Amino acid sequence: MSAPDPDLLQTAEDLKKGGWIVAMLGAAGALCRLLLTNEDVHWWMWVKRIIAGGIVGVLCYFAVHGKVEPIYEAIIYSCCGSASQELVSLLIRTINRTNHGKNQRSR
């Protein structure tokens, strides 16, 4: 078994120190998106979408941390949080399609 990548370990340590900021940037992006839409949704959908924005922001953190300037990182996290509704919907549709295809073949 190989040793963990030291860069990944450092990124994980950095996330522990300030990861809540990344999650908040993603959640803020999702909140801004919800505030600007005319879509009529219940409060619990707002909560789900804001949490999804935070999660997507953290996932983006692992993709771009240390590769671009910090100000651009913040912009990327916020934009990804804003797009999290579509990203999560796409992921769910893909999983459902994959599972549906497996169910059809097993019959």
Question: Under 8 Å CB-to-CB from 52, ≥6 apart: which residues?
Answer: 30, 84, 85, 88
Residue 96 forms part of a structural domain: yes
Q: What is the pLDDT of residue 104?
A: 62
How far, in whole angstroms, is CA 24 from its chain's centroid? 11
Q: Find the range with the poorest average confidence among 20-29, 33-42, 45-54, 95-104.
A: 95-104
> Residue 23 pLDDT > 60, yes or no?
yes
Q: How confident is the model at residue 73 (pLDDT cuts 50, 70, 90)?
A: confident
Q: Find the range with the poorest average confidence among 9-13, 48-52, 90-94.
A: 9-13
* Overall number of domains in the chain: 1
Residue 65 lies in domain = 18-106
Residue 1 forms part of a structural domain: no
